[in-house]
């Protein structure tokens, strides 16, 4: 148990990553920030100099849920992203649970792709610099998190 969230690995043969972030800003601002970042990185323009900060596709969102896809350029593998947002009691802070799962089952060695797919959106949109920013994850729930190089992936 971490912050009241039970972690369940549904399929250990599927590359995936789960991360919990805390930020000291209201969830509605976090949702707007993440959604606009996903839209801004829709086409390949942002990857002309490398990296994976492109080819995101917004599927749908509500004030507390965001669904998107990301295509990894080297492998053409697709990751399914889900962000679930939980307002704090005062609504001045937000807990964000990010989950990325590779559609391609056979890629267990993912080089941190699933972690970076989530993290790049937070970093690129400035949320990692938000007041009170904290990240919680580990190797059990987030594949190759500790060695991921998100400049590349």
Ligand X SMILES: *[C@@H]1O[C@H](CO)[C@@H](O)[C@H](O)[C@H]1NC(C)=O
Using rule CB under 6 A, residue 128 touches ligand X: no
Q: Which positions from 74 through 93 interact with ligand X, judged by CB under 6 A?
A: 74-77
Using rule CB under 6 A, residue 63 touches ligand X: no
Using rule CB under 6 A, residue 106 touches ligand X: yes
As measured in angstroms, the least distance from the Cβ of 152 to ligand X is: 5
Based on CB atoms, which residue is closest to ligand X, 5 or 78?
A: 78
From 37, 111, 114, 117, residue interacting with ligand X (rule: CB under 6 A)? 111
Report CA-CA distances (Å) from 55 to 46, 117, 147: 9, 10, 23
- Any residues with CB less than 8 A from the CB of 85 and at least 6 apart, and which? 27, 30, 31, 63, 64, 65, 66, 94, 95, 96, 97
Please name every residue paired with 85 in a beta bridge, in sequence order, or none if there are none: 96
Q: CA-CA distance, 61 to 46, in Å (whole number)?
A: 23
Using rule CB under 6 A, residue 144 touches ligand X: no
Using rule CB under 6 A, residue 117 touches ligand X: no
Using rule CB under 6 A, residue 116 touches ligand X: no
Based on CB atoms, which residue is closest to ligand X, 47 or 97?
A: 47
CB environment 62-97: b (16+ within 10 A), e (fewer): eeeebbbbbbbeeeebebbbbbebbbeeeeebbbbb
As measured in angstroms, the least distance from the Cβ of 59 to ligand X is: 19
Write out the residues near ligand X by the rule CB under 6 A: 74-77, 104, 106-107, 109-111, 149, 151-152
């Amino acid at each position: 148990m971490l912050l009241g969230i039970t972690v369940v690995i549904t399929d250990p043969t599927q590359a995936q990553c789960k991360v919990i972030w805390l930020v000291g800003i209201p969830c509605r601002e976090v949702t707007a920030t993440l959604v606009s970042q996903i839209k801004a990185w829709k086409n390949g323009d942002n990857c002309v100099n490398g990296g994976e900060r492109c080819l995101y596709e917004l599927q749908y969102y509500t004030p507390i849920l965001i669904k998107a896809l990301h295509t990894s350029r080297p492998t053409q593998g697709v990751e399914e992203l889900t962000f679930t947002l939980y307002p704090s009691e005062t609504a001045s802070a937000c807990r964000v649970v990010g989950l990325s799962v590779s559609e391609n089952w056979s890629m267990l060695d993912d080089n941190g792709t699933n972690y970076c797919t989530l993290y790049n959106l937070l970093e690129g949109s400035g949320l990692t610099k938000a007041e009170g920013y904290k990240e919680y994850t580990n190797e059990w729930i987030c594949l190759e998190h500790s060695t991921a190089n998100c400049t590349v992936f």
